Amino acid sequence: MNHLLSKYRKPLSTWGFYFFSTFVSINVYSSPTLNILNWDDYLSEETIAGWESLMGAKVQVITYDDEDVRDLLLTDTTQNLIDLAIVDSPSATKLAKLGYVVNLKDAAHRSDIEPNWLQRCGDNGVPYLWGTLGIAYREDKIDQPINAWADLFSGREDLEGHIGMLGDYYSMTAPALIHLNLSPNTDKEDDLKAMFELLRKQTNSVLTYVYAPSYLLNSANKDELYAAVVYSGDQFLMNDTIGKEVWRYVLPDEPSIVWLDCWVIPFNSEKQSLALSFIEYIGQANIAAKNSEEVGVATVNRKARSFQSKEMTEDELIYPREEGFDKLVSVEMLSDANIRQRIRIQEAIKVIHESK
């Protein structure tokens, strides 16, 4: 995968300053300005420039690496900070049910999107990019390759104190549940107890629960991170961050997660028509294709793939083949009780880790 860096990724952009204690960075422009809430390096600069030139407007990107911060911004009805946002599909559904985002079922180019992706984002979201949850590891630090979730939970000596786990309640717990041959969406008490015990034992091997690209960007101990649970495409950002092509992404042999991100427009945005124009611009097949290829993540647009390079479309880590796709489990919207229980587990694991 390292050879894909120059083709699928733009160089890491410098967005400015940070706030909210997670990294949220801003470029300040004069009006009219579209405020987009997004993961870092998840929208190509060429796409932004093309829309700005067409509309005579500017884009201000606010990046996040913590979904709690994202949800705080999107549900704060006292301010109009965000005009357009990227969220995971279950969050798009939940935000819609709570009345925080507008209906987008009449947005242009929806017919070009795979029906299953449309269903998962619902009428209040427009599918953007999709991918998998897997493992990135440093090929220059590890002699024995990583190819299974078991490698993160088996107490491998070469990984002790060098593992990065995702800190949110779902992405922390899903790999552990899969390793235990349980559904990552389970709400059974016994399953969650078994998962907690596995995560508790793993704390001895974990270096951090901070999102790996952010850890590499901000931590003085970044060279101690050898393996991390990441989202497909993160390896490009991680290689950009450290200036070396040493991070390799693998999809575990066991089942894994397929995720989908959706565009949503907050109900209290005062620039809804401007936001919709951006969604419709990036929904054009040729624009969607180029943006997807530069970001290095799979597009949902059926027509767009015909505009992409053969190297991109035949990469099974980006577009898994049917037999590989059969092992992927969709993220489901969990019950409030299940979420509360997982948050308690998440917080307990972090406390245990910090006490060591």
326 belongs to a structural domain: no
29 in a domain, yes or no? yes
SS3 124: coil
Q: Phi and psi of 246, rounded to 5°?
A: -120, -15
> Count of domains in the chain?
2
pLDDT tops 60 at residue 58: yes
Q: Are residues 223 and 281 in the same domain?
A: no
Query: Collapsing DSSP states into helix, strand and coil, what is residue 282?
Result: helix
102-116, 190-204, 319-333, range with the lowest pLDDT:
319-333
* pLDDT score of 30: 54
State whether 241 and 158 are in the same domain.
Answer: yes
What confidence score (pLDDT) does residue 63 get? 92
Cβ pair 121, 331 in contact under 8 A = no
| 245's tokens | 């092509």
Q: Is residue 325 included in any domain, yes or no? A: no
Host H or E run for residue 258: strand 256-264
Residue 189 covered by a domain:
yes
Identify the domain containing residue 66 by its residue range. Answer: 2-131+259-319
Q: What is the per-residue pLDDT for 78?
A: 84
**How does the average pLDDT of the chain come out, rounded?**
89
CA–CA distance, 341 with 48 (Å, rounded to integer) = 40
Q: Does residue 350 sit in the same domain as residue 231?
A: yes
256-282 per-position pLDDT tens digit: 999 999 999 999 999 999 999 999 999
- The residue type of 106 is D
Query: Shortest CA distance to 300 belongs to which of 117, 152, 162?
Result: 117
Summarize the confidence of residues 203-218 as an average pLDDT.
Answer: 96
Q: Which helix (H) or strand (E) holds 86?
A: strand 84-88
22-31, 57-66, 100-109: which has the highest mean pLDDT?
100-109
Is 324 contained in some domain? Answer: no
118 and 137 both lie in a single domain: no
Q: How many whole angstroms from its chain centre is CA 281?
A: 22
Contact between 270 and 342 (Cβ < 8 Å): no
- Do residues 341 and 219 both lie within one domain? yes
Sign for the pseudo-dihedral over CA of 161, 166, 168, 172: negative
Helix, strand, or coil (residue 11)? coil
Residues 137 and 272 placed together within one structural domain of the fold: no
In eight-state DSSP terms, residue 224 is G
Specify whether 105 is located in the same domain as 42. yes
Paired sense of beta strands 227-231 and 33-38, if any = unpaired
Shared-domain flag, residues 58 and 6: yes
Residue 206: alpha-carbon gap to chain centroid: 21
pLDDT band for 31, please (50, 70, 90 cuts): low
d(CA 112, CA 300): 8
- Tens-digit pLDDT profile for residues 214-269: 999 999 999 999 999 999 999 999 999 999 999 999 999 889 999 999 999 999 99
| CATH code (residue 164) | 3.40.190.10
**Range 313-320 average pLDDT:** 92
Residues 147-156 have a mean pLDDT of 94
Beta strand residue intervals within 149-216, DSSP E: 163-164, 206-208
Q: Residue 10 — very low, low, confident or very high, per pLDDT cuts 50/70/90?
A: very low
Residue bearing the bigger pLDDT, 326 or 123: 123
Dihedral sign from CA coordinates of 28, 29, 32, 35:
negative
Asked whether residue 46 is domain-assigned, the answer is yes
**143 shares a domain with 94:** no
The closest of 109, 96, 42 to 266, measured between CA atoms, is 96
Instruction: Please give the Cα distance from 301 to 291 (Å, whole number).
Output: 11
Assign 80 a pLDDT band (cuts: 50, 70, 90). confident
Q: pLDDT value at position 204? A: 94
**Confidence class of residue 9 from pLDDT cuts 50, 70 and 90?**
very low
How high is the pLDDT of residue 334? 92
Question: Left, alpha or beta for 145 (phi > 0: left; psi -120 to 50: alpha)?
Answer: beta
Residue 347 has pLDDT above 90, yes or no: yes
Query: 94 and 25, same structural domain?
Result: yes
The residue-averaged pLDDT of 13-31 equals: 38
Pair 86, 200 in one domain = no
My answer on whether 95 and 238 are in the same domain is no
